[in-house]
A and B are shown apart, each in its own frame.
Chain A
Amino acid sequence: MRQVYLDNNATTRVAPEVVEAMLPFFQDLWGNPSSMHGFGGRVARYVDEARGRLADLLHADPSEIVFTSCGTESDNMAVRGAAEAAGPAVRIITTRVEHVAVLSPCRHLKEHGHELTELNVDAEGRLDLDALREAVAGGPAVVSIMWANNETGVVFPLSEIAGIVKAAGGVLHADAVQAVGKLPIDVSRVPVDMLSISGHKLHAPKGIGALYVRRGTKLKPFLLGGHQENGRRGGTENVPYIVGLGRAAELAAHTIDTEMPRVAGLRDRLEEGLLKTCPDTRVNGDRRHRLPNTTNISFQYVEGEAILYHLSDAGIAASSGSACTSGSLEPSHVIRAMGVPFTAAHGSTRFSLSRYTDEADIAYVLEQTPPIIERLRALSPFV
């Protein structure tokens, strides 16, 4: 049976080139880059090279890259580190649709004496910039706003957001875990102070992430230990994975201009095909400002987990914001923040493509999905 993987916002296939780049660092180059001998010395320059490659992808300086263990660590380090550096009671501003890796530390800080504002989005998942202006007007704040949403793919206008936050004297962190590798990102033009990156969302393995920290940003280290990462993050460098992330960043930089428009074309074909063949179907999120690889579609009157199990039986991997799959009993917080009606919220299904997706994959999904929706609707008491 054909296998079609359309859950790339959850995790991506590790690129074969990345695996190849990593292998020597398990087998031969296993030294500690901090050591004062040849075993380590030989390794250190590969860490530097990887740092340079990731910096190039973001148009940053290599000294501004801190390697971490994952996107969640990067988000925690940014939000908690900036709040701790700013004082005992800081104003923190974020949005209701952030990933839990940002929301949870923000809410944790609120419980520990900091003040928290969670900005709303509209029905299409767009941020109210006037509300942001109002929120930052009260004085310097730590602001954490995602570059692109993992569930809907909606892209926030980070240039404008950065302008607003910096004009008010705030510190801005952007969770760019979904954006890096899919959208051109240039920190020399967009004045964000910090930016989170996750390796396994861009064809590097799980267990490696990074935080871009603009020079001069006040940040307390999160993981206390040795002098690694310029004293910003303790712990012996995860060399094979750092090398893998560097190679993945290099591949992303080379392919983004050609591959992402192609992926967007496939995504549009999938979306338009499903809207045409399945009645009572809607797209969640602003279609004009969206990641090229993501579509979030609600099949009304059917439930997401049931859709995913049938898709999986057909060899298709997707994801859902329904209650049964969100890890709670309610639909995802993103779908609820957008006010998606209940008729549609539980049947929200996310298809996320990658540069490995091809036309035959999309044709197969377009052929398999409509009968699944029809079968489930035949069971539904609401149809």
Chain B
Amino acid sequence: MWNYTDTVLDHFRNPRNVGVVENPDGVGEVGSLACGDALKLTFKLDDEGRIADARFKTFGCASAIASSSALTEMIKGMTLDEAGAVTNQDIADYLGGLPEQKMHCSVMGREALEVAIANYRTGESGKKILEGKVVCTCFGITEEEIRRVVRDNNLTTVEQVTNYSKAGGGCGKCKPDIARIIDSVQAENRQSEAPAAQPHRMTVLQKIRLIEETINREIRPMLKKDGGDLELVDVDGNRVIISFRGMCARCQVAPFTMKDVVEAKLREFVSDELRVEEEKP
């Protein structure tokens, strides 16, 4: 069994503020059934702009439930600026600490809170959106998210990044990428980054070939591992039309669709102007 603190076990056994706030001012949904934990956070503000009520629904392990419960207790009475400053370490501290391998539960809480605040302020969807390059395709973790946990928690090893963000915790193929990101964040702390490489032009034929190569090398093996597959249906300018097969066609639950993962990979290896469209069978 995990070495949970009494506070963690108390919040797991007697979770506070379970449910959904009626007519919420902010909604934040992160995680998924596929990833093994998910959190829906809702809050309502009072007349002075302080959080009057905050509620959660969580699918996950004991520490995921405890982290969510703790988060709702912590942010009640806070202004959104105060709540926005809550870090994952604050959540872990409130619980008297979390096992290192469970720190990602506290990160999930911080992410849901950020999404909920953004939802209130900008009207953004209330769901986490994948932006930029997907590094860990097993859990759909982007480079930006990894940079964030490395910076926020001063992480120095790949194992720590996995504990805090889950990135690298599946097939493990992205571990060298994570190591590079850690190095780069550390380098950033010393100086600014080098300029990115120049994109080069290619013919339509070269593009299709490169798309096929990328699917075969980068995407298909990871889908097959979970019993799925995909087919390249057509390429029309920058539109790439694909169709999912097997398990992938039935997977309805991810916060990011597999389409987004495919798109991210194709943009990384072929051209960042590509758009992926899914043809439903």
Contact = CB atoms under 8 A, between A and B. Distances in A.
A382 B250 contact: no
A328 B60 CA distance: 14
B62 A305 contact: yes
Interface string A339-378: 1011100100000000000000000000000000000001
Interface stretch (A10-18, A34-42, A329-337): A329-337
Contacts of B61: 303-306, 322, 324
A323 interface: yes
A306 B36 contact: no
A379 B36 contact: no
A331 B1 CA distance: 17
A373 B9 CA distance: 18
B54 to A, nearest CB: 15
Given A342-B251, A379-B18, A313 B170 contact: no
Give the interface centre of B36, B37, B166 by most chain A CB atoms within 10 Å. B36
Interface in B12-58: 12-13, 15, 18, 29, 32-34, 36-40, 57-58
A381 B58 contact: yes
Interface in B227-273: 227, 247, 250-251, 253
Nearest to A325: B61
Given A301-B59, A324-B61, A329-B170, A378 B18 contact: yes
Interface residues of B, number: 36
A301 B247 CA distance: 18
Nearest to B31: A381
Contacts of B58: 379-381
B65 A379 contact: yes
B120 interface: no
A141 B138 CA distance: 33
B162 interface: yes
B33 A329 contact: no
A304 B40 CA distance: 19
A303 B60 contact: yes
Given A306-B65, A342-B253, A331 B247 contact: no
A309 interface: yes
Contacts of A303: 36-37, 59-61, 64
A57 interface: no
Interface string B128-155: 0000000000110000000000000000
Nearest to B254: A342
A337 to B, nearest CB: 8
Given A336-B226, A379-B18, A331 B59 contact: no
A58 interface: no
Contacts of A324: 36, 60-61
A381 B40 contact: yes
B97 interface: no
A380 B18 CA distance: 10
B169 interface: yes
Contacts of A304: 61
A302 interface: yes
A306 B60 contact: yes
Nearest to A343: B33
Contacts of A309: 1, 9, 12, 62
A38 B40 CA distance: 73
A346 B58 CA distance: 14
Interface in B156-171: 162, 166, 169-170
Contacts of B247: 339, 341
A43 to B, nearest CB: 39
Contacts of B36: 303, 322-324, 329-331, 346
B66 to A, nearest CB: 10
Nearest to B36: A323
Interface in A184-207: none
B10 to A, nearest CB: 12
Contact of B139 (A322, A329, A381, A382): A329
A330 B170 contact: yes
B33 A382 contact: yes
Contacts of A336: 226
A313 B13 contact: yes
A106 B138 CA distance: 24
A380 B59 contact: yes
Contacts of B65: 306, 379
A137 B251 CA distance: 36
A313 B14 CA distance: 13
Contacts of B37: 303
B59 A339 contact: no
Interface string B61-80: 11011000000000000000
Interface of A: 301-306, 309, 312-313, 322-324, 328-331, 336, 339, 341-343, 346, 378-382
Interface of B: 1, 9, 12-13, 15, 18, 29, 32-34, 36-40, 57-62, 64-65, 104, 138-139, 162, 166, 169-170, 226-227, 247, 250-251, 253
30 contacts: A301-B33, A301-B59, A303-B37, A303-B60, A303-B61, A306-B12, A309-B1, A309-B9, A309-B12, A312-B1, A322-B36, A322-B61, A324-B36, A328-B169, A329-B104, A330-B138, A330-B170, A331-B36, A342-B251, A346-B36, A346-B59, A378-B18, A379-B18, A380-B58, A380-B59, A381-B29, A381-B38, A381-B39, A381-B40, A382-B33
Given A303-B37, A342-B33, 15 more contacts: A303-B64, A306-B12, A306-B62, A312-B1, A329-B139, A329-B162, A330-B36, A339-B226, A339-B247, A378-B18, A379-B58, A379-B65, A380-B57, A380-B58, A381-B29
